[in-house]
Amino acid sequence: MTKFPRNIYSLSAKEIGKKLLNLELCPIDLMSFYLDKIESYHFTSPYIEVFKTQALKNATLSKKRILNNRSLDLLDGIPIAWKDLFDISGYKTHGGSKLLINTKIAKNNSTVVQRTLAKGLIPIGKTRTVEFALGGLGTNKNYGTPENAVITDTPRVPGGSSSGSATALARNMCALAVGTDTGGSVRIPAAWNKLYGLKTSYGKVPTQGVLPLSKSLDTVGPITKSVEDLNLIYSIFSQEKDHQQLNIFNKKILVARGTPCSNLDKEIEIVFENVLSKISATGIKIDEVILSEMEDMYKMLSELGTLVTFEAWNQWKHLVSKNKEDVDPNVLNRMLAGSTVPKKNITKLKREQIILSTKLYSKLKGYDALIMPTVPILPPKIKEVEEKQKIYNKYNILALRNTSIGNNLPLCGISIPYKDSSLPIGIMFYRKLGEDYSLLKVVKKYDKIIN
């Protein structure tokens, strides 16, 4: 048996990959290590299905490649967890819903799964999600809710909808995890479990073979333990070369005051101001503004309804309308809200989205990034939000507030953890749509300042 390094839990996937290539770790032992962690966990598992037999077979193949100097990539042999929205050949995709229990076994892999397989990454299992991925808290009354991995005083929500992916990684049951982000579903669970989460630019990563929620907003994104891991997996997902030259930083950052910094939990407010102090101490200029484009979009979403719920209802109404009693009440409530949104409202939202985002992009020129707290609140108790609809709605709206604006005014975004606090508090960085590689470079620099 491989002697695992004492700091195995803190190692990034890149660091583990280097140890595999240097024969300091064996892919089979590594996979067995994670499988043992999964099997020994006695609470609601982050996984809905574990691919034990196939994962060990793939680990054996990875070992042979490495020993023969034919490794497919630096991440060859790395166990990766997939949200139960991604088609993986030989397995069903349930999307956290009873309504899809009889769905057919997938014959093909989703595009992003196939791209990681080509690099030697090994799917270890499928992780839990909010039903149809419609929810920011991470709860699922039908399939169970994995508990937050950081605050353990009482069972608290993990963040959603990629709840299982984040908690699997935070509990060291994989080395990388993948989710989807339509309104914050990668960044919220990443923040609430002290991890890194990337919301990719819409259209940069293919969603073929991924169960849809809102086709106008759905994105695929990784959850990791480092910015470098985000960069590695993004390059595999997108298959794009980095042509974004960012050799000279602007040394200016824009803080979104107004709504994104309102109603913060006191602990989050203190951390965010401390982060700004750390940045300012390096000589970087901080401009603090209320962005009218964001404020206008928040107002329209409140008055007109949301594109997410409108498209979610139209995507799944053929099942939901006939089986309401089998749908998680919190998800059903939002679905039904989407059913009442007039199409003319959506037409107006899409038109204003283009106008407002164009103005916002202009304001972001010359800045390294736009920054705000990822989530304005700390994770609430599971029991509290599952028992009372009003409390669920209140916290769900707050949880999604700062992340969803980056979907509705399309941006690429990264949440990084504030490591000096024992609490799970995320700091979010935004750049304009399509500047994912530039964002990754910027955040790598600012992560060193903040952490």
DSSP per-residue letters across 56-70: HHHHHHHHHHHHTT-
Cβ 103 vs Cβ 93: under 8 Å: yes
Q: Which CATH number does the domain housing residue 18 bear?
A: 3.90.1300.10
Give me the active site residues, please: 83, 161, 185
Residue 373 has pLDDT above 90, yes or no: yes
Q: Judge whether 148 lies within some domain.
A: yes
279 and 175 share a domain? no
Number of domains in the chain: 2
364 and 386 share a domain? yes
Q: How confident is the model over 215-238, as a mean pLDDT?
A: 98
147-163 per-position pLDDT tens digit: 999 999 999 999 999 99
Which residue range forms the structural domain that includes residue 22? Answer: 8-238
The model's confidence at residue 1, banded by pLDDT at 50, 70 and 90, is very low
Q: Judge whether 215 lies within some domain.
A: yes
301 and 347 share a domain? yes
Q: Judge whether 121 lies within some domain.
A: yes
Q: Judge whether 126 lies within some domain.
A: yes
pLDDT confidence of residue 245:
63
232 and 256 share a domain? no
pLDDT confidence of residue 247:
58
Calpha distance 134→151 (Å, rounded): 23
SS3 assignment, position 40: coil
Residue 365 has pLDDT above 60, yes or no: yes
Q: Judge whether 2 lies within some domain.
A: no
Calpha distance 410→352 (Å, rounded): 12
The model's confidence at residue 242, banded by pLDDT at 50, 70 and 90, is confident
Whole-model pTM: value is 0.98
Last residue of a domain, one of 204, 238, 272: 238
pLDDT confidence of residue 4:
76
Report which DSSP code applies to 198: E
pLDDT confidence of residue 243:
73
Tokens of 224: 């990791």
pLDDT confidence of residue 28:
97
226 and 260 share a domain? no
Q: How confident is the model over 292-300, as a mean pLDDT?
A: 98
User: If residue 336 lies in a helix (H) or strand (E), which one and from where to where?
Assistant: helix 329-339
Q: Judge whether 343 lies within some domain.
A: yes
Mean pLDDT for the chain overall: 96
Residue type, 426: G
Q: Judge whether 244 lies within some domain.
A: no
285 and 328 share a domain? yes
233 and 257 share a domain? no
324-344 per-position pLDDT tens digit: 999 999 999 999 999 999 999
Q: How confident is the model over 285-306, as a mean pLDDT?
A: 98
170 and 257 share a domain? no
Report which DSSP code applies to 208: T
61 and 203 share a domain? yes
Last residue of a domain, one of 216, 238, 260: 238
pLDDT confidence of residue 116:
98
Q: How confident is the model over 385-392, as a mean pLDDT?
A: 95
34 and 179 share a domain? yes
User: If residue 303 lies in a helix (H) or strand (E), which one and from where to where?
Assistant: helix 292-304
Cβ 166 vs Cβ 193: under 8 Å: yes
Residue 2 has pLDDT above 70, yes or no: no
304 and 220 share a domain? no
Last residue of a domain, one of 208, 238, 268: 238
Calpha distance 147→138 (Å, rounded): 9
Q: Judge whether 171 lies within some domain.
A: yes
317 and 440 share a domain? yes
Burial class (CB in 10 A: 0-12, 13-18, 19+), 352: middle
Calpha distance 232→362 (Å, rounded): 29
